[in-house]
């Protein structure tokens, strides 16, 4: 706490407004002033630990040369030009999008199916729900390692089981993590495995919040099965689905450790998403300018996409 406080006093000072004396004022502080006071410490910490680094990031993105003082100079938008034209970075952006779509769509379909199943079975299935929750608690680095172990070419248990049930002729037929055409899908598996639970959890809570009389009414109108799902359940789940999709989409797009531990972005960069590219640009190629410019663009795109998603799917105005 203390280092943060030391780092931030100039910003904290103007954030506490003078009491303005609202109608329900107590002890000299209006509701609005009190609310601001409650939120101020969190805001200050976020400004110091996120705002400041991001300002530094943008400054770095406008400079070239390594950050060690040897020839760091102002470079204008040159790094942005590099970030936008470099074929490696462009390919990584494409892979990040593909990876995110694979993860999010698989999780939504699986998560919704399992949530509906558990909802249908009711509280008696609680033990199953709890067991299903566990992958959520496991470290991504452990999950990545585990799936790498499951999918080791020709000696992994996945290929062994697939061979035994007759889907593969030979355990060596599929090289999950060394086939460049397949690897982006393979590295997504632990991510899907880890967080489908999250999707299920959120959607299940959403399903529980739907008043049963709505279903009764729809049933009386003759709606059944899929029709009930499409015209009653899904529209009512819309805000919940939106939140889950946005959170998972953002996290999938930023995926780093799961991929690093499985393939380190290989083979031939076929599983290298933007976070890995940025990390390598910074740490391996010692090019902080390009790394900063790429990060800045990456962040802006994510924010714009998420904002559009919030405004179009979630439509928060309609809820309150």
Partner 1 sequence: MSHLLAARVRTGLLWAAAVAVVVVYGFPFVYLVLTSFKPAVDAIAVPPTVLPQRFTLDNYLTALNRPGVTASFINSVSTAVVATLLSMALAIPAAWGITRYRTRAGQLLMAGSLLVRMAPAVAIGIPLVTILGAAGLTDTPTGLALAQTTVALPLSIWLLASFFEGMPREIEEAALVDGCGRFTALLRVILPVVSGGLAVTAIFAFLASWNEFLFALLLTSVRAQTTPIAIANFQSQFGLDWGPMTALATLYSVPAVVLTLLLQRRIVAGLSLGAVKG
Q: Which of 5, 35, 214, 230 binds partner 1 (CB under 8 A)?
A: 35
Q: Does 191 contact partner 1 by CB under 8 A? A: no
Q: Does 284 contact partner 1 by CB under 8 A? A: no
Q: How far is the CB of 84 from partner 1 (least distance, A)?
A: 17
Measuring CA to CA, which residue among 201, 193, 206 is closest to residue 240?
A: 206
Q: Does 311 contact partner 1 by CB under 8 A? A: no
C-beta pairs of 6-9 under 8 Å, 24+ apart in sequence? 7/48, 7/52, 8/44, 8/45, 8/47, 8/48
Positive or negative, the CA dihedral 157, 162, 165, 168 is negative
Whole-angstrom Cα distance, residue 113 to residue 277? Answer: 35
Q: Does 18 contact partner 1 by CB under 8 A? A: no
Q: Does 84 contact partner 1 by CB under 8 A? A: no
Q: Is 123 exposed, middle or buried (0-12, 13-18, 19+ CB in 10 A)?
A: exposed
Q: Does 209 contact partner 1 by CB under 8 A? A: yes
Nearer to partner 1, 91 or 136 (CB): 136
Q: Does 306 contact partner 1 by CB under 8 A? A: yes
Whole-angstrom Cα distance, residue 193 to residue 203? Answer: 16
Give SS3 for 29.
strand
Q: How far is the CB of 182 from partner 1 (least distance, A)?
A: 19
Q: Where are the alpha helices (DSSP H) in 156-233?
A: 157-164, 183-208, 212-220, 225-228
Q: Does 97 contact partner 1 by CB under 8 A? A: no
Nearer to partner 1, 263 or 270 (CB): 263
Please give the residues from 241 up to 260 whose contact with partner 1 meets the rule CB under 8 A.
247, 250, 253-254, 256-257, 260
Please give the residues from 120 up to 179 whose contact with partner 1 meets the rule CB under 8 A.
120-121, 125-126, 128-135, 137-142, 145-147, 149-150, 154-157, 160, 171
Tokens coding 151: 């999918």
Q: Does 239 contact partner 1 by CB under 8 A? A: no
Q: Does 42 contact partner 1 by CB under 8 A? A: yes
Whole-angstrom Cα distance, residue 236 to residue 157? Answer: 41
Q: How far is the CB of 87 from partner 1 (least distance, A)?
A: 20
Q: How far is the CB of 153 from partner 1 (least distance, A)?
A: 11
Q: How far is the CB of 255 from partner 1 (least distance, A)?
A: 10
């Amino acid at each position: 706490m203390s280092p943060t406080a030391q780092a931030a006093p100039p910003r904290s000072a103007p954030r506490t407004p003078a009491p303005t004396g609202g109608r329900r004022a107590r002890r000299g502080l209006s509701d609005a002033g009190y609310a601001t006071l409650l939120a101020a410490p969190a805001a200050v910490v976020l400004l110091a630990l996120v705002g400041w680094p991001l300002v530094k990031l943008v400054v770095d993105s406008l400079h070239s040369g390594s950050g060690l003082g040897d020839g760091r100079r102002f470079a204008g938008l040159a790094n942005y030009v590099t970030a936008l034209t470099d074929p490696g970075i462009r390919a990584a952006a494409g892979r990040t999008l593909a990876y995110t779509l694979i993860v999010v769509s698989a999780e939504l379909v699986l998560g919704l199916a399992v949530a509906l199943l558990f909802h249908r079975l009711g509280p008696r299935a609680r033990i199953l729900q709890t067991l299903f929750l566990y992958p959520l608690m496991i470290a991504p680095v452990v999950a990545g390692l585990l799936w790498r172990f499951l999918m080791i070419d020709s000696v992994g248990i996945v290929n062994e089981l697939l061979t035994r049930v007759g889907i593969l002729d030979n355990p060596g037929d599929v090289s999950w993590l060394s086939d460049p055409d397949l690897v982006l899908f393979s590295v997504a598996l632990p991510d899907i495995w880890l967080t489908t639970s999250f999707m299920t959890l959120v959607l299940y809570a959403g399903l529980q919040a739907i008043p049963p009389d709505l279903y009764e009414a729809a049933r009386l109108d003759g709606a059944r099965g899929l029709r009930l799902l499409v015209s009653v359940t899904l529209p009512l789940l819309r805000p919940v689905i939106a939140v889950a999709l946005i959170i998972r989409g953002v996290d999938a797009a930023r995926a780093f450790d799961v991929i690093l531990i499985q393939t380190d972005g290989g083979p031939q960069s076929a599983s290298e998403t933007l976070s890995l590219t940025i990390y390598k640009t910074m740490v391996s190629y010692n090019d902080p300018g390009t790394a900063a410019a790429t990060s800045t663009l990456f962040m802006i795109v994510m924010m714009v996409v998420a904002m559009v998603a919030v405004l179009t799917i979630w439509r928060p105005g309609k809820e309150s």
